[in-house]
Structure 1
Amino acid sequence: MNQDYIIPNEWSIIEEGFNAERVKSSESLFSIGNGAMGQRANFEETYTGSTFQGSYIAGVYYPDKTRVGWWKNGYPEYFAKVLNAPNWIGINVFVNDEALDLNTCKKVENFRRELNMQEGWLSRSFKATLPNNVEIKVEAKRFLSLDLDELGVIQYSVTPISSDAKITFQPYLDSGIHNEDSNWDDQFWNTLKVTQDGEHAFIEAHTMKTYFHTCTFMQSEVFINSAKQAIQPEVEQSENKISFSYSVDVKENETFTIHKFGGYTVDRNHEIDELVAVAKNVLKEGISRGFDALLEQQKQAWAKIWEMADITIDGDVKAQQGIRFNILQLNHTYLGKDARLNIGPKGFTGEKYGGSTYWDTEAYCIPFYMATKDQQVARNLLEYRYNHLDRAIENAEKLGFTNGAALYPMVTMNGEECHNEWEITFEEIHRNGAIAFAIYNYHRYTNDYSYIPEKGLEVLIGIARFWYQRVNFSTAKNKYVMLGVTGPNEYENNINNNWYTNYIAKWCIDYALENIEKVKTEYTSDYERIMSKVSLSEDEMQSMKKVADNMYFPYSEEHNVFLQQDGFLDKELISVADLDPSQRPINQKWSWDRILRSPYIKQADTLQGFYFFEDHFTQEELERHFDFYEPFTVHESSLSPCVHSIQAAKLGRMEQAYTFYLRTSRLDLDDYNKEVEEGLHITSMAGTWMSIVEGFGGMRVKNDTLSFEPRIPEQWDGYSFKVNFRGQIVKVNVSHSETQFELEGNNDLEILVNNNKVTVKPHSLVTI
């Protein structure tokens, strides 16, 4: 049974009624972020119940020493951890000296929490009866500013409703925090200084080992009703905490409010000795604008994001809520402003996966950012990998590869591999292919070739060299084979000839050689610069070509399909439909041994290849492979439903496509995988966007032309989306009877609709 307490609403995520068992799940679901920092939806006031505290700063991490039972040569020294940062949101609340704590209150009524997606803020309200029998009403609202991305703001109000009461607000900063997922219970932070300057408070701290220096800061203002109060706070200070106390005797039905301004300055962006001065300027700017003006600017900033990124769905509120939640959280995580950053699979919502970069960015996220933002954002994501090329070469050298072969890491913060499950880190090498595919995808979509001669070709050569060295020549097969790999289906480890890995390896070599020729002919000075740097000989290129031309692909004549790997047909082929539902999810019910011997597929594997290289195969081939593999797919990866939704839509199986869409869009809202309390599935949210735009909208780039084959689920009355294609914004509106296209731009745009050429003129409507 999936959870269903989130109230369907087109523009908000809403929870009504307080339930202690839901607190951790809601802390994930109501998370907020602004690309530079983010936080779980922890309560501002004390909460002694079960909670998962988490505030995170983009790019700040700790190298937690690897913990394994048996060390293998080549293991990474550490697993990078996104760090739970010093807490600035805390506000202890006392009513007649009794602490407000929803875990100990006699009664909590009218509890309501709302994440307003349209305007970018989080609110909470409730009535509570404290152990001392005083009844109060609480209203809180907070957001992380998009305009001033080092600043967060909280408005917190308490109204006594049963009697007069002394109310105390105690805003604090606390660097005595820990990570939920520490390997060795190390101390991650070293607090350097706790200081006060008037009503400013600062904690300067640095991370252990990585020495990221941060300043956590706060300043507050208090009001009775809306009149500002000049109260001198009492200050308490310890080695890692500082708090200010503001106490007022509040009459019954009067409201005492605090505006707390806080956040982080970081040495990634400023000089270490300037962090406090910069924090003072941020506070000065925040206070001078004030809560209301900052909130108004927040609404405007989000309106601008939604103007381009929104997808509307008519007639299906849950589907509408799902896609907007996904788009919101992607923008909470990454806005494309900083080329040093990337998109972690949990974003700022939890600690699993270490906040690191996976192949998810290239395979799933780049299409979303290319189409909903300026193409420079996608280019920044490509440059992130170019900047790590030397590390990728080092990673390959550690495993015995030579001559500039590059193996991009499975998991990274700085280009260095920091994942330590052998069967994933050293066998799931297909991720190298996704890095190359993203370069191709970027050029295909934007028509910006300049990236390849400037930077991309070096990456492609390093990747091609890796594949060329990774194969073995099989005399028995008279082909090149790839042994000991794990494909995207992590429920098969250490297998031979994973079809997807072999296919993308061949493609990478061919694509690199093709671009070497193009750059040689058309960008002579770049070609000479690159060749002198990488020392690529004609002989080496010929040898690479021989490998690509003679790659082995396992195939079943009986089933007329490519085999996921050599031994796939040796398994007992029982479909998921014939599995006892009590055995699901198998990753929580079965031993790893049993999973590895089963035919069950975690996510698209062979079908991932059919998704990337759709134009290499016929519709009939896709249908055959979909019909063979999908029945064995348990979709226990968040990245699985979106690819299957796109392919089901292409095959015209709209009911199936819709079911997969709903699963990907509401994966977290409905907690399909029973793990949402650990954080959200950020990177798969980009797949949700793809399942509408590429799945139902049928958007592709064919022969350098934007193409659509629109379809609509019967559950919807209509849907619309926008894409930024080569600097021109196309709006697509699909209903059961017609599809309309509008163009924001200055020039006509020729598109394909169901393979027919259509010309769209600026600011005019074309109806098909």
Structure 2
Amino acid sequence: MNLDYIIPNKWSILEEGFDPDHVKASESLFSIGNGAMGQRANFEEKYSGPTFQGSYIAGVYYPDKTKVGWWKNGYPEYFAKVLNAPSWIGINVTINGEELDLFACKSVKNFRRELNMKEGWLSRSFVATLQNDIEVEVSSKRFLSLDLDEVGAINFSIKPLNSDAEITFQPYIDAGITNEDTNWDDKFWDVLNVTRENNQAFIQAKTMKTEFHTCTFMESQVYVDGELLSNEPTFTEGTSYAAFSYTNKVKQNETYSIHKFGGYTVDRNHSKNELISAAKKSLEKAKTTGFTQMLEDQKQAWAQIWDMADITIDGDVKAQQGIRFNIFHLNQTYLGTDATLNIGPKGFTGEKYGGSTYWDTEAYCIPFYMATKDQEVARNLLTYRYNHLEKAIENAEKLGFTNGAALYPMVTMNGEESHNEWEITFEEIHRNGAIAYAIFNYYRYTGDFSYIPEMGLEVLIAIARFWHQRANYSTQKNKYVILGVTGPNEYENNVNNNWYTNYIAEWCINYAIEMIDKVKAGHPNDYKRISGKTKITHEEVSAWKKVADNMYYPYSEEHKVYLQQDGFLDKELITVEDLDQSQRPINQKWSWDRILRSPYIKQADTLQGFYFFEDQFTTEELERHFDFYEPFTVHESSLSPCVHSIQAAKLNRMNQAYTFYLRTSRLDLDDYNHEVHEGLHITSMAGTWMSIVEGFGGMRVKNDSLSFEPRIPEQWKGYSFKVNFRNQIVKVSVKQNETQFELEGDKELQIMVNGKEVTISPDNSVVI
């Protein structure tokens, strides 16, 4: 099913008309979050049709025991799963004794759902005729507060249109939930107690094995035509359930409303003995502030985010909607305030990939957060990896590496590897390179060297040790080779000498050596501490250097390109253009054996290296490699179109760059990969941002200063973005015939535009 029901709009995601076939997809697309928690856009009232219920708490996970046919040495014992948390949003609605259920209604008219990205709220409205012929107008609005990030708020209203009615609202919290994604159907939660106090209810529960303690809470107030009612609710409880019932007689055309506040307190932030008291404080703040003022505060909080992060596009509503959708979900997922959290590929929108940390964070997300937030946010992401260094060393030890070599996990929650497909877990080792590259990228962009002597150098040494041990000397080639790997292109497993992996290994070693020398010269006390801790010696570094200086790279003299890996030219080189379109996507149509024998590339692989290390290759080399590899690329990874868009823009192939941009920005909105019902592609959304700023805007850091080579698709009248570069905010506005630069800061800034030096100052815009 290709999604074509989302209505183009600059600031909102809009759905009009109720279609049960769209429900699961919409539950993903309209998801909300605030960095601390998130939820799919499930209905508040009962829904008996197909649905994927999902509420999630940041950092709370379960180690689901690995399920494989046979065990392999070094295998992770579990796959870390983000947990479907107890639900607090539910409100059963009964009208003259019949439940409101859109799947069971006689008719549903005027259905409209809106995710307002500018202001950070989700709304829904419709007119329904129940089986008992009562016609009602229903509306709801809810949000997860950015200011009170343990609390969400709902305003749910119902108006009987064709008669008076007795209506019951039954707000509830429910810990009797299961995960969609589970290996063994384990019980993930242990409910400890269900309690109430006046109109407040609390469910304390802990996760099995990981022992995260949580308290799910709620409190509600009911109104008729805006007037607060004081009638006492009845209370119902079970072993994992608590509900209040508010029943009132409502006249025809009167509006009966409930304001419900709910959310979670977690022992990540409070003592486990104080979760209920912390919940009470959060409820008191929410109730005192009130729904209306909380909504105003939400609008202000999002206005602050958008002031820095927004990208405007003039003349292309679908492109504008796409980029704001991506920026919005990135900010809903991660706000950078907690160095123990990271960015899962599905964020708070689904359970696929376990909700864990991948190399996507370092490769794609850090540039977005560096440029749109304070640099502390990006530094927190790097600190996360430093805090997991000991676990990364343990991961490498399990695979036979020694001497403090580190292999960062492909998938993790706490630093332990928790991915259990051998061709990824053991072989997709290029992820180590992304960690080192992020350290380099952070220093290059922010100018903040302090991270490296404080934390980063230890990480770089451990990674260099891994590459030194993972390479082996080939007497036949008289070079060092790296065998049995999977590169970024996961449609090739267990290959030898993947060019990207070999190249990033060499680069990591050389960068580690460069940073050792820099810290030794400029930070002798830090170097003394680090060398004492790591036992690094000159002889060891010389051994690394020998590997880096003699790395083997497969190359085709015929095509004048580096080969993705040994033997790539042995494949039957039929381009994607000549592939029967009925066979797409191949990952859903072909056997794995057939995919592995094909030349088809899931995502940028060799071209990923050309993206990272652009300065080390000429534009002619990029063009040659782009023309060779892109025709074989099926872009069945969400991480692929953005890299190709950036490179197409650099080559001034703007139609191709624009096509790739639309694909990355509307990947979920238009459901290119036919999987949006499982959740959104959060980490690739940062790549969408890069495709505009680095692709069309041509932003780079060269010679320690910002550089731009602005280009614009012919479909656009103009676009603009802001970047925070070393605490000075540069606004770039590109039109078809000129580019304007403005500066927010307190001093002049030298930038490069199309290779020429330009000075911008806080008071004067510069037009090129």
- Give the alignment's TM-score, normalised by structure 2: 1.00
Amino acid at match of 1:177: I
Match of 2:201 in 1: 201
Match of 1:230 in 2: 230
Mapping 1:246-257, distance limit 5 Å: 246-257=246-257
Amino acid at match of 2:675: E
Q: Describe the superposition over 1:327-352 as per-residue Cα deviations: whole angstroms up to 9, x where unpaired.
A: 00000000001010000000000000
How far apart, CA to CA, are the structure 2 residues paired with 1:451 and 1:520? Answer: 15
How far apart, CA to CA, are the structure 2 residues paired with 1:264 and 1:564? Answer: 48
Amino acid at match of 2:207: T
Match of 2:96 in 1: 96
2:261 is aligned with 1:278: no
2:177 is aligned with 1:177: yes
How far apart, CA to CA, are the structure 2 residues paired with 1:521 and 1:140? Answer: 62
How far apart, CA to CA, are the structure 2 residues paired with 1:500 and 1:745? Answer: 39
Q: Describe the superposition over 1:665-713 as per-residue Cα deviations: whole angstroms up to 9, x where unpaired.
A: 0000000000000000000000000000000000000010100000000
Shift of 1:538: 1.2
SS at match of 1:418: coil
How far apart, CA to CA, are the structure 1 residues paired with 2:375 and 2:384? Answer: 14
Shift of 1:763: 2.9
Amino acid at match of 2:327: I
How far apart, CA to CA, are the structure 2 residues paired with 1:32 and 1:68? Answer: 34
2:319 is aligned with 1:319: yes
Unaligned runs of 5+ in 1: none
Amino acid at match of 1:285: K
Match of 1:79 in 2: 79
Mapping 1:496-575, distance limit 5 Å: 496-575=496-575
2:253 is aligned with 1:287: no
Q: Describe the superposition over 1:636-692 as per-residue Cα deviations: whole angstroms up to 9, x where unpaired.
A: 000000000000000000000000000000000000000000000000000000000
Alignment identity in percent? 76
SS at match of 2:119: coil
Q: Describe the superposition over 1:607-626 as per-residue Cα deviations: whole angstroms up to 9, x where unpaired.
A: 00000000000000000000
SS at match of 1:282: helix
Amino acid at match of 2:158: V
Q: Larger deviation: 723-732 or 534-543?
A: 534-543
Amino acid at match of 1:583: Q
Match of 1:704 in 2: 704
SS at match of 2:108: strand
Q: Which 4+ stretches in 1 moved above 6 angstroms? A: none
How far apart, CA to CA, are the structure 2 residues paired with 1:634 and 1:24? Answer: 26
How far apart, CA to CA, are the structure 1 residues paired with 2:29 and 2:257? Answer: 26
SS at match of 2:257: strand
Amino acid at match of 1:21: D
Amino acid at match of 1:424: I
Q: Describe the superposition over 1:12-63 as per-residue Cα deviations: whole angstroms up to 9, x where unpaired.
A: 0000000000000000000000000000000000000000000000000000
How far apart, CA to CA, are the structure 1 residues paired with 2:544 and 2:644? Answer: 33
SS at match of 1:357: coil
SS at match of 2:716: coil
How far apart, CA to CA, are the structure 2 residues paired with 1:707 and 1:732? Answer: 12
SS at match of 2:15: strand
Match of 1:687 in 2: 687
Amino acid at match of 1:543: A
2:399 is aligned with 1:399: yes
How far apart, CA to CA, are the structure 1 residues paired with 2:306 and 2:427? Answer: 40
Mapping 1:569-588, distance limit 5 Å: 569-588=569-588
Shift of 1:182: 1.1
Shift of 1:156: 0.1
Match of 1:447 in 2: 447
Aligned residues: 768
Match of 2:241 in 1: 241
Match of 1:45 in 2: 45
SS at match of 1:336: coil
Shift of 1:537: 1.3
Match of 1:152 in 2: 152
Amino acid at match of 2:751: I
How far apart, CA to CA, are the structure 1 residues paired with 2:223 and 2:386? Answer: 52
Q: Describe the superposition over 1:458-482 as per-residue Cα deviations: whole angstroms up to 9, x where unpaired.
A: 0000000000000110000000000
SS at match of 2:182: coil
Shift of 1:388: 0.1
Shift of 1:2: 3.0
Amino acid at match of 1:337: T
SS at match of 1:243: strand
Report the RMSD for the aligned CA atoms in angstroms: 0.4
SS at match of 1:607: helix
Q: Describe the superposition over 1:703-737 as per-residue Cα deviations: whole angstroms up to 9, x where unpaired.
A: 10100000000000000000000000000000001
Match of 1:431 in 2: 431
SS at match of 1:140: strand
How far apart, CA to CA, are the structure 1 residues paired with 2:761 and 2:22? Answer: 51
2:426 is aligned with 1:408: no
Shift of 1:278: 0.4
Match of 1:635 in 2: 635
SS at match of 1:261: strand
SS at match of 2:261: strand
Mapping 1:44-63, distance limit 5 Å: 44-63=44-63
Unaligned runs of 5+ in 2: none
Shift of 1:361: 0.1
Amino acid at match of 1:454: E
Shift of 1:748: 0.1
Amino acid at match of 2:571: K
Amino acid at match of 1:278: A
Match of 1:353 in 2: 353
How far apart, CA to CA, are the structure 1 residues paired with 2:553 and 2:142? Answer: 55
Amino acid at match of 2:661: Y
How far apart, CA to CA, are the structure 1 residues paired with 2:741 and 2:353? Answer: 40
- Give the alignment's TM-score, normalised by structure 1: 1.00
Shift of 1:764: 1.5
Match of 2:601 in 1: 601
Match of 2:367 in 1: 367
Q: Describe the superposition over 1:550-606 as per-residue Cα deviations: whole angstroms up to 9, x where unpaired.
A: 000110000000000001000000000000000000000000000000000000000
How far apart, CA to CA, are the structure 1 residues paired with 2:525 and 2:231? Answer: 68
How far apart, CA to CA, are the structure 2 residues paired with 1:296 and 1:97? Answer: 36
How far apart, CA to CA, are the structure 1 residues paired with 2:183 and 2:582? Answer: 32
Q: Describe the superposition over 1:273-328 as per-residue Cα deviations: whole angstroms up to 9, x where unpaired.
A: 10000000000000000000000000000000000000000000000000000000
Match of 2:265 in 1: 265
Amino acid at match of 1:577: E
How far apart, CA to CA, are the structure 2 residues paired with 1:753 and 1:381? Answer: 30
Shift of 1:231: 1.3
